[in-house]
Amino acid sequence: MLRLKPMTNTIRAYSYLIFLLISRLVFGQEVVTIKAQLLDGKTSKPIPFASIYLKNTARGTTSNAEGYFVFYVPVKNKAGNVVISAMGYRTIEKKPSSFSNDERIRLTPQAYELNEVQLSASKDKVLTAKEIVKRAYEQIGKNYPTEPYILEGFVRDLQKEDDEYVEYLECAAKFKYKGSAIKKEPEIELLGVRTNSIAKKHPWNKNQERKNSLVDLVEDDFIRFDYGPILAKKGWKYEIESVLTYDNRLVYKITGVDKPFQTATLYIDSESFAFVRMELTRQAIKNRSWRRRFTNGALQVYYNVVFEYQEYQGKMYLKYQREEDHWRIFKGLESRKVLFTQYPKKELFVNNIITENVDGYPFKRNLDIGASIENQAEKSDADFWATYNIPKRTAEQSQIVKELENANEKL
């Protein structure tokens, strides 16, 4: 039984959305365009990575770090409801035609104080935070898809060396999975590359393997490859921090620590025990890392990965993934001289899920995993990108692209 006491000191934060809807014909496809920004009404801070999707479908998009999003709704779906859901806020639903210009909508914050939150396995047994994590791990086979499926999505790859940005890549792809129990990376179809801006990099890179951005993302998967804080192994200490709402469900926010290098935050559905969101951070201490320095002189000093899932047809599918690393590059394996620091950051935004007739769904495995994305890029197709649901660039990202393009012109 779950007993919750509403927070007596809950901050009364309000959020608003400013929408502009345009029904138009774009390259043969008639769509309703919804443009919006989510902001906290009290702090004026953006609400990032909220889910925006058509109800009872897997078609959607995600707000960016500034809270902005653009959602292309096919006119054939205009009678359906658009759902907007953010962690810690009450979910709202509206028909595309009901949004008006410059409309402000308040998302009601919902959180609970944990004076006495109890989830009982039986009448006499109250689960601890660690037991909740273990229960969630035991329910993976039930909560995640075991049949083949395809994810469609958008990837941003941002690379920085010291204080200079050296690469910005945007591409769309399909990921064909065998099921969560198959410990294998998906097959990948590269649909197109929209932005491919690369500046001059440190000479050290010339002799190093340039890892494929898409493969680098999908090889990290707690659920599929059975690792990380979800295992609740010895050494991990967990604590229930709060209970939030997400998509009209109650979700436990559980923090975990595995000294000295690892911390984690897990969001677990209080009814199904599904992992809704997971974040793991590993950080070196005084150059002492959790892994040895590589022979090429690279030492990973920071690692952060985030997985967020969405429910579709009773199963949990990936919605958003982010991976950030900090690498200190030394002159050699035994050297103490730091040449520079690398800051790669990759994000995957899923905008569609295919579960039916997967084998008959259009898919062409064309990605060469041994080559970087920029070496497989074809000319950008304006028709394809015109109504493809992607997260809107932030002002900072737009400035980075502009600076990289200017740098390329000077090379």
The predicted-structure confidence for 60-79, as pLDDT tens digits, reads as follows 999 999 888 889 998 888 88
Q: Is the domain of 159 the same as that of 98? A: no
CATH of the domain at 10: 2.60.40
Supply the mean pLDDT for the chain.
Answer: 85
Non-local (6+) Cβ contacts of 312 within 8 A are 58, 353, 355
Confidence of residue 346 (pLDDT cuts 50, 70, 90): very high
Q: What does the pLDDT read at residue 127?
A: 84
Does 64 fall in a domain? yes
Neighbour tally for 89: CB within 10 Å: 23
Does 329 fall in a domain? yes
Q: Is the domain of 332 the same as that of 221? A: yes
Question: Which has more pLDDT, 282 or 4?
Answer: 282
Domain stop point among 65, 88, 111: 111
Q: What domain range is 13 assigned to?
A: 5-111
Number of domains making up the chain? 2
Mean pLDDT calculated for residue range 168-189: 91
Mean pLDDT calculated for residue range 1-7: 44
Q: Is the domain of 92 the same as that of 197? A: no
* DSSP letter (8 states) at residue 375: G
Q: Is the domain of 205 the same as that of 354? A: yes
Q: Is the domain of 367 the same as that of 290? A: yes
What's the 3-state SS for 235-281?
Answer: CCEEEEEEEEEECCEEEEEEEEEECCCEEEEEEEECCCCCEEEEEEE
User: Cα(142)–Cα(256) distance, rounded to whole angstroms?
Assistant: 24
DSSP, collapsed to helix, strand or coil, labels residue 403 as helix
Non-local (6+) Cβ contacts of 57 within 8 A are 77, 80
Q: pTM higher than 0.85 for the full model? A: yes
Q: Is the domain of 92 the same as that of 184? A: no
Q: How far apart are the two ends of the chain, measured CA to CA in Å?
A: 65
Q: Is the domain of 186 the same as that of 331? A: yes
Q: Is the domain of 285 the same as that of 360? A: yes
Does 136 fall in a domain? no
Q: Is the domain of 91 the same as that of 162? A: no
Does 30 fall in a domain? yes
Domain stop point among 111, 135, 163: 111
User: Cα(335)–Cα(98) distance, rounded to whole angstroms?
Assistant: 63
Residue 99 has pLDDT above 80, yes or no: no
Q: Is the domain of 252 the same as that of 190? A: yes
Q: Is the domain of 248 the same as that of 200? A: yes
What percent of the chain is predicted at pLDDT more than 70? 87
Does 126 fall in a domain? no
Does 133 fall in a domain? no
Residue type, 278: M
Domain stop point among 59, 85, 111: 111
Does 171 fall in a domain? yes
Q: Is the domain of 96 the same as that of 165? A: no
Does 252 fall in a domain? yes
Mean pLDDT calculated for residue range 89-108: 77
Residue 4 has pLDDT above 90, yes or no: no
Q: Which two tokens stand for residue 155?
A: 């990837």
Mean pLDDT calculated for residue range 364-380: 83
